[in-house]
Structure 1
């Protein structure tokens, strides 16, 4: 059975580590046959990734876009599109929002009595806009924060130490958490239109990371605004949720996709190719790959 991974990040995403060439070499070493590099709000990896395609490796164009649907923010994947200035505008808009939010994030963290060395953070980021995981890294390594009780779960042996940086993000900046800051991104319907107008297929990413109940009800509304597929198999989804989403997608004739959401050191438990679909699902995944490759 072929091995497919349609959700991973290169260092064109500010929270990921590996250059495109190294990432795709890692995929080859893991026996992946079809992949997409889906960087956050950026299509800059597309030409590099597709230049590394071969008869034994199908590389789809990909992107993951922050967008708003209803009163919540979600991630929308795009596949099979042709890069254009539309995607440059998406990147520039997202970057402007993040630059505006960064000082406020620092304030929230300092209100918790965390020491945050901005010079060290700038060094780690290498000029990129700091992400919450990188803020967590700097805070956790600073000796002045060594005994801070809020940080103990992320240190060796703590119950959030398996993936401390991404867990730091979710626990402090996730919806409803102490450092959370409401932000409105472009409407999902508008981002769906951009992807489709550039010849691509819009797919909802990892719904299990965004809402904890009524998944298919939420997705039904998204299909009504032009979303064409569901990332059914994800590192965020239990087998039970994946099965529910698979049956829903097939019933609604929506595309079925799979992705590991590999980042590197921010998510050390996740490896490329960890998508958890079975032989009974591969026909639907092939249907999507064929459509996105056309």
Structure 2
């Protein structure tokens, strides 16, 4: 069956590894025919990905934007837009916010007894802003933390060792978790307008990773502010949730999309093209990609 993946990250995202060219090559090797690179708050990949398209692979412009809706933070995907300074400004604003938050994140980790070597963290991040997963990597590698019992689940054989870095992020920095730092991003309605005004289509990403109930209420509210589609098929969604989201999207005339959320090193269990859908569901996804002009 044809493979489509509309959610993946290149190293234009601070928490992902592969340059765009390597990411595209990986997708070709896995038989993907249509893709979008959706870097965090950055449209920098669009030109490179577009240049690498050929008669076996179609690339669609993409971005994943942090935004706030009804006092909760979500990720909003944008597809088929024409890059403009609007997206450059989103990236500048997000990067500045991340720089301001980094010392608070390190302070929160130290409060729980973790040794955080900032020189090692800077070296690991290179020119990019250190992310929570990189903080986890530095903490786990530091012999000063080897006897910290809080790290046992993330070490080999531990209950959270399948994806230790992203699991550490969720367990310590997720909403309501010990190191969680409240932050408000731009309003979803504002980001919907940016995507739409540049010719794109706004789609809510992996909602099952953000909330665990009241899907209909939340999605109906998002639809009212201009969200036009749902990432139904996601590595974060159970088959039961995917079935519900698929039916809801069709009943509400919302676009149906799919995405692996591939990052590389930080999410080793997630591979490009890792979306499960049947033939009729693929037809619905294809209706969406065929509706895009970029």
TM-score bracket for this pair, using the shorter chain length:
over 0.9
Where does structure 2 lack aligned partners over 5 or more consecutive residues?
Answer: none
1:243 correspondence with 2:250? no
User: Matched residues in 1 for 2:53 and 2:202: separation?
Assistant: 22
Q: Which residue of structure 1 lines up, in the alignment, with residue 33 of structure 2? A: 33
User: Which structure 2 residues correspond to residues 127-166 of structure 1 after superposition, within 5 A?
Assistant: 127-166=127-166
Q: Which residue of structure 1 lines up, in the alignment, with residue 24 of structure 2? A: 24
1:14 CA drift (Å): 0.3
User: Matched residues in 2 for 1:113 and 1:127: separation?
Assistant: 27
User: Matched residues in 2 for 1:127 and 1:263: separation?
Assistant: 18
1:291 CA drift (Å): 1.1
Q: Which residue of structure 2 lines up, in the alignment, with residue 254 of structure 1? A: 254
1:43 CA drift (Å): 0.2
Secondary structure of the 1:93 match is helix
User: Matched residues in 1 for 2:12 and 2:280: separation?
Assistant: 34
Where does structure 1 lack aligned partners over 5 or more consecutive residues?
Answer: none
Secondary structure of the 1:293 match is coil
Q: Which residue of structure 2 lines up, in the alignment, with residue 266 of structure 1? A: 266
Secondary structure of the 1:233 match is strand
After TM superposition, the runs of 4+ consecutive aligned structure 1 residues lying more than 4 A away are none
Q: Which residue of structure 2 lines up, in the alignment, with residue 75 of structure 1? A: 75
Q: Which residue of structure 2 lines up, in the alignment, with residue 90 of structure 1? A: 90
User: Matched residues in 2 for 1:77 and 1:68: separation?
Assistant: 13
User: Matched residues in 2 for 1:251 and 1:183: separation?
Assistant: 34
Q: Which residue of structure 2 lines up, in the alignment, with residue 3 of structure 1? A: 3
**1:118-150 residue CA offsets vs partner (Å, 9 max, x unmatched):** 000000000211100000000000011001010
User: Matched residues in 1 for 2:212 and 2:261: separation?
Assistant: 19
User: Matched residues in 1 for 2:275 and 2:206: separation?
Assistant: 12
Scaled by the length of structure 1, what TM-score is found? 0.99
Structure 1 range deviating more: 277-286 or 198-207: 277-286
Scaled by the length of structure 2, what TM-score is found? 0.99
Q: Which residue of structure 1 lines up, in the alignment, with residue 197 of structure 2? A: 197
1:64 correspondence with 2:69? no
Secondary structure of the 2:40 match is coil
Secondary structure of the 2:256 match is strand
Aligned-residue RMSD, C-alpha: 0.6
Q: How many residues align?
A: 294
